[in-house]
Amino acid sequence: MTEKSSPTDPIHARGSGATIADVAQAAGVSVATVSRALSGNYPVAKATRERIFRSVTDLGYVANAHARALAGATTRTVGIIINDVADPFFAYIARGVERQASAEGRMCLITATHGDKERELALVDLMREQRTDAVILVGGASDDPRYRKQMADRARALAAAGSSLVLCGRPSLGVGVPTKMVTYDNEGGAFAITDYLISQGHRRILYVGGPRDFSTTASRLAGFYRALDARGIERDPSLVHEGAFGRGFGYSRMRELLDQAIDFTAVFGANDLVAAGILEALEERGIRVPQDVSVVGYDDVPVASELRPRLTTVRVPLEELGREAVRLALSQSPHDAGASSDNTLTVGTHIVIRDSVSAPNKT
Amino acid sequence: MTEKSSPTDPIHARGSGATIADVAQAAGVSVATVSRALSGNYPVAKATRERIFRSVTDLGYVANAHARALAGATTRTVGIIINDVADPFFAYIARGVERQASAEGRMCLITATHGDKERELALVDLMREQRTDAVILVGGASDDPRYRKQMADRARALAAAGSSLVLCGRPSLGVGVPTKMVTYDNEGGAFAITDYLISQGHRRILYVGGPRDFSTTASRLAGFYRALDARGIERDPSLVHEGAFGRGFGYSRMRELLDQAIDFTAVFGANDLVAAGILEALEERGIRVPQDVSVVGYDDVPVASELRPRLTTVRVPLEELGREAVRLALSQSPHDAGASSDNTLTVGTHIVIRDSVSAPNKT
DNA sequence: CTAGAAATAGTAAGCGTTTACTATGGAGAA
DNA sequence: TTCTCCATAGTAAACGCTTACTATTTCTAG
């Protein structure tokens, strides 16, 4: 045993990591041969190959992914941009992305915007720097035209570089912008659950949560309104209260609304987290759910079934959404043009009925 | 407007992305000057710099991160390896890592093992290929000696390459293995909450969940036993039921245990998810918590306070754990040798008392 | 004025791979 | 026996950046 490396200690090479040249030297061949033996796309004599693999393990060699990427091979990485890693909505989508990516032999670069549009743009650029095979942008988007234009520019740049931008659960950037899309039926789910509420006899339904001017909010509200219209119930602006997603918002806004003694029999939380906050505010005031007030949410995140009463909500196949996003991203379909063709995929939503809704109290 | 690019369409460069040479040509300078203007670590005349930046935006240029990494600059990336992105325990740690990394100007490569040891080793190699500035390994570990040895080899390889391996919430790989560690007081938290249960009068406490031969399980059980010992309560092996983390395990195992008519007045769920499952099984049988049986969990993940009754549990500062991990990883401290020195950091845990514990029923 | 120090810009040598091309040594064909 | 064709292996040219050196100007001080 020369130096300080012991035979039982294969990976501990000297210096800052062995290169392919070291392996070549150790095996007594050229670097080209090592490269070929490793990638296996070119014939290498069996004996040579074995000698090379032995040197590889002896030296603890791993290829430098950057050199490899630079030399033309693909990066084998997909990037995903979400709002927040710890928000279950995003976490489940990320899980789907991560799983599908690794099933297709890719790494997964997960980053978070924390709701900052500028940061989102910057992150897309970062992924572009990383030359990821695709970048998946998740969650509702702002409809600020300047922002849309900047994102469209990036979509084009990505496309020009052979990568692709896939929009997951967010609206198109416009015709002609090269993107792929996978969405879920936001409007339909909102329609269905509102209709369910109405069918139970509710007429005055509060809508709480979701950032204003945000695509997700817009489509959920659209479904909400469509259901109202379909049953001939008048839209009452004083009943819709946008603001934010998140438990804290649901809780505090519900408290305020309770103080205002508004007349309602049911509450539609913009997502399950908001609904959780609403439930807490209600519980705090001694208002029983569903006997006094019915509550529904959206997403069917795991916490929905931990709440008491268990929350009636709209199920969104989050993990599936993530998987489809990478399938689409990695498929050869030449992302292109408009919203139709096979560059768009919509997964369905359906309501799941649990215990937070009943007929309104006939007061 | 030449070609098809319009002046309002800056990023859409022709071909597969502009290179630094394109920018240099457009600005009429050498690539070296562009590189310097961009990195800003060398004087460049103001007029030149402006010309360069204009070309950069005109062409939608972003540097090729791989070329940059290859040319010697650091990769500015930290890798984190967790079990599952959608498990809140890991998700919150990941959030801390992600935030601190981005605060320190790094990207974050998040990968998941799904509990597969082999995959974990492979992922470390993958990160080594990526030349990440550090790799953070999160969560309990197996104590299989072969595995430990392989991981130790990788720790050395990483160290040799100037990177570092930080163990987050898992035991040391042994003296002399170059790692950094950030842990939380698992044993102490388990002791505290067990002692709390005992102080309420419980004597027969069921311990449910957590993989056997897993470091986290081992230290939680150690705390559990120490508390029992301290109060002179006999250890009863028939009361401890290891198995897995996760809601499903808690639910099904609790059902089995209920069928066996074992004598107990409290249940210690190995983590909050297990506790959630336990609660459901109990509710299903009409057993009231805490009147009939008390339940506690571990981690204080958000769902703990959504459960009814609200779960009394041990708070682990998950996000802080993640932040500290990257602080430590990126600090210059020459990770080295044993478990002491400033390469190890332990954050405290404390119990949070909610509604799932009361004095046992005097039957 | 002029030597010497900034300030600014250019040249070119890597960084570690992949891969098109080229070279060599038999095996089988003619 | 000579020629052609495989199977193997080597050479060297990218890939797109950073940076140590070197080469100009332009000041500034003596």
Q: Identify the CA nearest to A76 among candidates A65, A90, A89, A91.
A: A65
Extended strands (E) in B96-239: 107-112, 134-138, 165-168, 179-184, 205-208
**Chain D nucleotides with an atom closer than 7 Å to a protein C-beta:** 7-12, 14-20
Interface test with A, best of B3, B6, B12, B133 (most A CBs within 10 A): B12
Which pair of structure tokens corresponds to residue A292? 């006094």
Give the model confidence (pLDDT) of B268-285 as tens digits. 999 999 999 999 999 999
**pLDDT-based confidence at B333, cuts 50/70/90?**
low
What was the pLDDT predicted at B217? 95
Query: Residue A60, class by beta-carbon neighbours within 10 Å (0-12 exposed, 13-18 middle, 19+ buried)?
Result: buried
Give the model confidence (pLDDT) of B31-43 as tens digits. 999 999 998 888 8
> How many whole angstroms separate alpha carbon A161 and alpha carbon B18?
9
**pLDDT-based confidence at B222, cuts 50/70/90?**
very high
Q: How many Cα atoms are found within 13 Å in the side-chain-facing hemisphere of B168?
A: 34
**pLDDT-based confidence at B154, cuts 50/70/90?**
very high
Is the pLDDT at A41 greater than 60? The verdict is: yes
Is the CB of residue A139 less than 8 Å from the CB of residue A216? yes
What was the pLDDT predicted at A363? 55
Mean pLDDT calculated for residue range B199-208: 97
Q: Which residues contact A217 (CB under 8 A, 6 or more apart)?
A: A140, A210, A211, A242, A270
Mean pLDDT calculated for residue range A87-111: 93
Contacts of A114 in chain B (CB under 8 A): 99
Mean pLDDT calculated for residue range A44-67: 92
Q: CB contact, 8 Å: B13 with chain A?
A: yes
Extended strands (E) in B224-335: 240-241, 266-269, 294-296, 313-315
Nearest CA in chain B to A178: B12
Q: Estimate in Å the CA B61 to C1' D22 gap, whole number.
A: 29
Q: Identify the CA nearest to A270 among candidates A233, A321, A224.
A: A224
**pLDDT-based confidence at B361, cuts 50/70/90?**
confident
What was the pLDDT predicted at A310? 97
Give the model confidence (pLDDT) of B139-150 as tens digits. 888 888 999 999
Q: CB contact, 8 Å: A48 with chain B?
A: no
What was the pLDDT predicted at A4? 34
Contacts of B95 in chain A (CB under 8 A): 84-86, 112
What was the pLDDT predicted at B353? 98
> How many whole angstroms separate alpha carbon A236 and alpha carbon B47?
59
Predicted TM-score (pTM) of the model is 0.89
What was the pLDDT predicted at B41? 84
Question: Peptide bond before A360: cis, by omega within 30 degrees of 0?
Answer: no
Is the pLDDT at A167 greater than 60? The verdict is: yes
**Window from A278-292, B1-15, B132-146, B169-183 with minimum mean pLDDT:** B1-15
In this complex, the residue of A15, A108, A276 whose CB is nearest that of residue B306 is A276
Give the model confidence (pLDDT) of B41-63 as tens digits. 888 999 999 999 999 999 989 99
Which residue type sits at A316? Answer: V
> How many whole angstroms separate alpha carbon B218 and alpha carbon B212?
8
What was the pLDDT predicted at A143? 81
More confident residue, A314 or A335: A314
Is the CB of residue B206 less than 8 Å from the CB of residue B266? yes
Mean pLDDT of chain B: 90
Is the pLDDT at A362 greater than 70? The verdict is: no
- Which nucleotide C1' is nearest A21 CA? C16
Cβ of B160 within 8 Å of Cβ of A15? The answer is: yes
Is the pLDDT at B78 greater than 90? The verdict is: yes
Q: Which residues contact B180 (CB under 8 A, 6 or more apart)?
A: B164, B165, B166, B167, B328, B329, B333, B335, B343, B344
In this complex, the residue of A11, A64, A108 whose CB is nearest that of residue B153 is A11
Cβ of A91 within 8 Å of Cβ of B92? The answer is: no
Phi, psi of A30 (to 5 degrees): -90, 165
Is the pLDDT at B340 greater than 60? The verdict is: no
Cβ under 8 Å to B: A residues 267-286: 276
